[in-house]
Amino acid sequence: MIGFDLSEVHLSVQELVRQFVSREVLPEIGRNDSEGQFDRSLLPKMARLGLLGLCIPSRHGGFDFDYISLGLACEELEYGDTSLRVILSVHLALHGLTLLSWGSEEQKERWLKPQARGEKLATFGLTEPDAGSDVVGIRTTARRDGAHYILNGEKTWISLADVADHFLVFAWTDPDRREQRDHRGLSAFLVERSMKGFSSGTHHRKWGIRAGNTGYFSLQDVRVPAANRLGKEGEGFKIAMFALEQGRYTVAAGATGLIRACLDASRKYALGRSTFEVPIARHQLVKQMIAGMVRDYETSRLLWLRCGWLKNQGRRNNRETSLAKWHATVASERAASDAVQIHGANGFSDEYPVGRYYRNCKGAVIYEGTREIHTLMQADYALGFRSDRPRRCDLPPVPES
């Protein structure tokens, strides 16, 4: 049986986050975006609502909600601004859920619990100045030295780089495999800001997501205990791919929220603005753009909801999540462009929010796998060059509260 109604729990999560965005985000987001200011005061507020540990089990400090709840939260947060959804993506999806799946009990106790409670903020460190989609092109190294690893390298375009306390870092532990570009030489590590040799900075003058913190960090002979390695040596690539799938899910849901924001802003403006003595909502080509937003919102939402259902069932969803991310982000770019067009010259001004939507949407078309990467993935699935074995996910479904 197929059902499309949200449960009472899901509706309560949706309403909780919607009220938070209306109360805490929308009144200040225009100014924060214009000034390129990250509002740190939102972090404890999100923690008190349970958002930072939303779908982490309660035994690890979280709140036992499911993946549909996570998707709904991301959709509502990005309706307010992309920078808010990014926090959940890197802290909870890319880092937290990966630690939940791959971490030892000791690691979960030490790092995941304070993250889920919002006492510590976490992020993900894969991208480098010369490597993004080409994961095996990274240069960061981790040399074993007794009971420690010595990490050296630089990561860039890292969300919350200048704010986070914990970093999930990927580095080469096998020099020979690095020379061969063999991903089995990559490993993952949990790095803390307080470690000697760690430094970070913020990218300024970004084109989009100006209200979010995006930056870089450097590792100079950072001594990381071997106990901080996540998984076994050589499992870094698998861990990174697992993490990116969780992140892509949140990006897909968030981009869906941005489409809805474009639709609401365009509908309001079209009904209130008149040309040729009639509201522009009466003009056929304006209707066409608004209809396209309706189509893209509904299809994007169905795709990420299907992924969330598969995740709740513990079933493989690599292909489905890739498709959801690809479709929703490209659709959000189209919706934002049309929203600016509907607003005409006013869309070219920060007096209206659609310019911010247009600047923000582009990031999601690039990160968590570019539009081109996902295009190739979907073609390879269709042509039989890539397949997902029909086994259960490594991560068990998180029970619904």
The catalytic residue positions are 368
Longest dimension (CA), the chain: 79
Rounded CA-CA distance 192/168 in Å is 9
Rounded CA-CA distance 252/301 in Å is 8
Rounded CA-CA distance 68/65 in Å is 8
- As a whole number of Å, the CA-based R_g of the chain is 21
Rounded CA-CA distance 295/343 in Å is 20
Helix (H/G/I), strand (E/B), else coil: 13: helix
Pairing of strands 166-172, 122-125: parallel
Q: Which of 143, 253, 288, 163 is nearest to 217 (CA)?
A: 163
Using alpha carbons, list the distances in angstroms from residue 75 to 19, 103, 242, 273, 300.
Answer: 13, 28, 21, 28, 11
Q: Within 10 Å of residue 251's Cβ, how many Cβ atoms?
A: 32
Q: Which of 8, 75, 127 is nearest to 254 (CA)?
A: 75
Tokens representing 122 are 């976490």
Helix (H/G/I), strand (E/B), else coil: 237: helix
Instruction: Classify burial at 389, counting beta carbons within 10 Å of its beta carbon; exposed 0-12, middle 13-18, buried 19 or more.
Output: exposed
Q: Within 10 Å of residue 193's Cβ, how many Cβ atoms?
A: 17
Rounded CA-CA distance 308/68 in Å is 5
Indicate the angle between helix axes 236-272 and 354-366, nearest 10 degrees.
160
Cα dihedral sign for 295, 296, 299, 302? negative
Using alpha carbons, list the distances in angstroms from residue 339 to 33, 85, 247, 280, 327.
Answer: 18, 21, 26, 13, 18
